[in-house]
Every structure is written in structure tokens, then in C-alpha cells.
Amino acid sequence: MFAEQSSACPSESDTLFYEPASFTTIYYRWSDILNRRNLLALSALAIVVLMTWMPVSVGYDSEYDTAYRVNLYGNGSAAWIIEQRIELKTQTEVDDFSNTIAEVSGNESEMSFFSDRINSAVNDAVTATGRSMNASDFRISASIDDTITGRYGVVEYSFRWSNFARICDNGSLLIGDVLTSGLYLPENSLLIIQIPDGYDAASVSPQPDSGENNALIWSGRRYLDSGEPSILVQQSSITGIPQSYLTAGLTVLALIILIYGALAFRRKRATAGMKIESRPEKDEGAKPVGGVSTDERGMPADVDSIEEMLKRDEDRVVELLRSRGGVMYQSDIVLEMGFSKSKTSMLINNLKDEGIIEKIMKGRRNLIRLKENAKK
């Protein structure tokens, strides 16, 4: 997915890129589109393109014990959050951890130990890189979190590391040169590096185990060598516009194409009706698929039919969930229904918006659960 890289900033002539999600989910070849007289095909294409741009949800592993989260900023600084979790299986353990929360809050000895260790690491990075840096905003907090997999006691250590990333002449950010001693990720641990809005990961070494919404995720157990992970981050290819703005723009564009295609198609039908008062039925004409009227290529005949088809598919997903006790993983729904991942994601989001199901991240997958009022 990502290009390998050296530890140096790129020159202006270098072409480094992040390979986006495959466009194989676009089901219609351009030659087919050019041959379509029905402008409604453009609407269908817009929907498919929009779904291609939608991020694929890959949740953080819910079973981790330790997570190192690095939120990178465009000025090269980074907010670090080191989260440690322990499962609380009994009420006694919950009560004991509640006492720990009080002990952690405002513990000057613990804060001093934490800040001394971080400052030592930052000083080593300054010596290795020759770059001015400092650590600040040290915080320690504790809480009890209830999740689908159980109840956990969570302790978070956080701080801000200025000039964590090297800023190249062309505005790119190079991450990794400060990690002079490498990093060991024990069993059930995660390293999560969040790329800032308006930037893309041009190259990464070693390859991450997974990713979600511009976050790169490595899982333990593994040892990362000195300078790893090494990540080159560049401004987004479309004039550095944040991904959230791009997604909103594509959504508006898709809706415009959808509306235009529908109006043009209906205008064409109305014009044809004025010229031809009646037409004989053909044996080879359009046949309904699943009760929805389609044209000779299997496309829905009008916008109402598209909505009807989507509603029928939503109902099929609900019936499948009911037959499985009301709970399934989204990936299993894809296999059972035979839909594409993009279409399944769209149907699931629609059902969630309608209050029929709830979507819960469990591990690296989405758990889909029917709400009580929809199980009957």
C-alpha cells in the first residue's frame, strides 16, 4: 500500500505517492458509460465513486493492554498519549482501581518520574538530530471505561513533543529520526500514528498492520529498529485541502449529478410520451429484479426504483440479523449477502441513521446489533 523510503527528505523532483484505495469497486467501464444513453447511469456512477472515497473502518484492537498514540500536527509537533489498560473482572478490582484513580491524580512523585524519563528521551533526540525540541504539557489521568468486551481501568500519560517531525524544504514532514533507540511493542500493544488533516502518508517503513481515517497502526509483539517507523507525510495532492473537505465536496458533487441525471431522464420520458401515445409491449423488454423495474442493462429504471431497491436490501440485512439472533459482524454480512463492502457499509450506515441497528467496534471489525425495537 505504501512506498518504501529512505530517511532523507525528498527533493522537489522526487515523486512520492500514497496509493489510494483501489477503484475496482467502480463496476462500470468507461466504454460502457459512453455508450449509455440513459443519463441515470451517471447517477449510479456518482454513488459508486462516492462510496469508493468513503473511508473503510478498521477499528483499533479492543483487546490491547498498552497503546502509544501519536497525534501529529502540521507544524511538526506531536501530542503523545500512552494508555495502559487492565481488565477489572470483579467488584473488588473495580473498588481497588477506584482508589488508584485518587492516588494517580496529583501524584507529584509519579509526575516527576514520568517527565524525567520523557525529557531524557527528548534530549537524546536533540543530540542525534541537532534539532531544537522540548517536551511540555505533562499529564497523568485515570478512569474506568466500560466497553463491549468488559470493564477496564485506564491510566493515561500524555505530553506534547515540539519539533517531533522534521519539516522538509517542500513542507513535507519526516517522522522517525527522533526514535534513536527503536521501540519495542510487547504482546497486546499498539502504536498508532495519526496523520494530520490535509496530509497523506507518501511512504512508510515498515508497513503498518492496519489503518483507519489517516491513522497508521502497528501491533505487538514486534521490535521497531532505530528510526522506525519512518514515515514521509506530504500535503494532500489536491492543493492540501483536508480530507474532510474533499469528502464533503464529493458528496455534494455526487448529489448534483444524481439530481441532474434523474431530471434529465424524466424529461426525456415526458418528451417521448408526447410523441408516442402508446407503444407495444416487448417480450425482450425490461424485467423486474427483486420487484424493482430495470432497463435492458439491469439498471434501476428511475430514482424511485433505486430507493426501493436500497430499501429492499436494507430489509434483507435486517432479516439476516434476525435469523442470526440479532448480532453479526459486518464482514460476515458481506459474505452472507454477497454485496460489495462499500454497498454493505452504505446499507449499515442507513440502518444506523434510522435507529434500527447499532454499530460497535470490536477488535478490528464492526459488530452490528439489532436494537430491541427491531428484533420483532
pLDDT single digits (tens) 132-186: 999 999 999 889 988 887 889 999 999 999 999 999 988 899 999 888 777 888 8
Domains of the chain, by residue range, sit at: 18-54+242-276, 66-235, 288-376
Task: Indicate the pLDDT class of residue 304, thresholds 50, 70 and 90.
Answer: low
Mean pLDDT check: name the lowest of 154-168, 174-188, 233-247, 325-339.
Answer: 233-247
Task: Indicate the pLDDT class of residue 101, thresholds 50, 70 and 90.
Answer: confident
Coil, strand or helix: which one is 295?
Answer: coil
More confident residue, 330 or 20: 330
pLDDT of residue 181: 79
Contacts of 310 (CB under 8 A, 6+ apart): 347, 350
CA distance 138 to 159: 4
CA distance 275 to 331: 50
The mean pLDDT of 365-375, rounded to a whole number, is 85
Q: Does the fold of domain 288-376 match that of domain 66-235?
A: no
**pLDDT of 295 higher than 60:** no
Task: Indicate the pLDDT class of residue 187, thresholds 50, 70 and 90.
Answer: confident
| Overall fold of domain 288-376 | Arc Repressor Mutant, subunit A (1.10.10)
Mean pLDDT check: name the lowest of 164-173, 218-227, 262-271, 295-304.
Answer: 295-304
* CATH class of the domain whose range is 66-235: mainly beta
